[in-house]
Chain A
Amino acid sequence: NAGVTQTPKFQVLKTGQSMTLQCAQDMNHEYMSWYRQDPGMGLRLIHYSVGAGITDQGEVPNGYNVSRSTTEDFPLRLLSAAPSQTSVYFCASSYVGLQYFGPGTRLTVL
């Protein structure tokens, strides 16, 4: 079992560029989520999904898009990157309330 994988580990973007952060899990979990982590702010929920074809917004969804075409994959898209989106991004999948986290992606927007 690979658990939850995220790619890339590091990324630098210019303002206005778009990109997709990939997330995959091999545990057949229905629930997946994306967080961003900023100093002093803890983890904030961006988007989540309770199963294939179903997504919903979290606390800070603006500027991000998600889709869930399969149980395994839950990509996060940045439509037009802004410096305020500089952060560490975590993907997680969940079973009976227990969340399993990926290793994170450190994103810098210049």
Chain B
Amino acid sequence: AQTVTQSQPEMSVQEAETVTLSCTYDTSENNYYLFWYKQPPSRQMILVIRQEAYKQQNATENRFSVNFQKAAKSFSLKISDSQLGDTAMYFCAFSNAGNNRKLIWGLGTSLAVNP
């Protein structure tokens, strides 16, 4: 069975600094998707970044980038120049690339950005 593990329940970072959130997963599939979602206090789930397993290049979205290590089954999220609005729960998720698109979720990392 596929699993997603986020080993850091809570993290904090100073404003303008860089922080990395860890995620590891387990699967026997070769083709799949990986995601990072952000959930601020408003409760809305917001997609931060998506990575397709067949792409070797790491995905980036402005201040957010990933370090995708397929062999190690690792998918960490780096937030550069942290802002107060980045304070949120961050969830890592996995999805097969087939017709069944169920997401498998990690338990989340609570990130606090301090002024």
Instruction: List residues of A whose CB falls within 8 A of some B CB.
Output: 31, 33, 40-45, 48, 50, 58, 88, 90, 92, 94, 97-99, 101, 103-104, 106
Contact = CB atoms under 8 A, between A and B. Distances in A.
Given A101-B45, A103-B44, 8 more contacts: A31-B101, A40-B107, A42-B91, A45-B102, A50-B101, A94-B103, A97-B95, A104-B43
B24 to A, nearest CB: 15
Interface residues of B, number: 20
Interface string B88-100: 0001000111011
Nearest to B52: A97
Contact of A99 (B100, B103, B106, B107): B103
5 contacts: A31-B101, A42-B91, A42-B105, A42-B106, A94-B101
Contacts, number: 51
Contacts of B102: 33, 45, 48, 58
A65 B31 CA distance: 32
B101 A97 contact: yes
B91 A50 contact: no
B47 interface: yes
Nearest to A9: B43
A109 B102 CA distance: 28
B78 to A, nearest CB: 21
Interface string B36-61: 00000001110100100000000000
A45 B4 CA distance: 14
Contacts of B45: 90, 92, 99, 101, 104
A8 B44 CA distance: 15
B33 interface: yes
Contacts of A41: 107
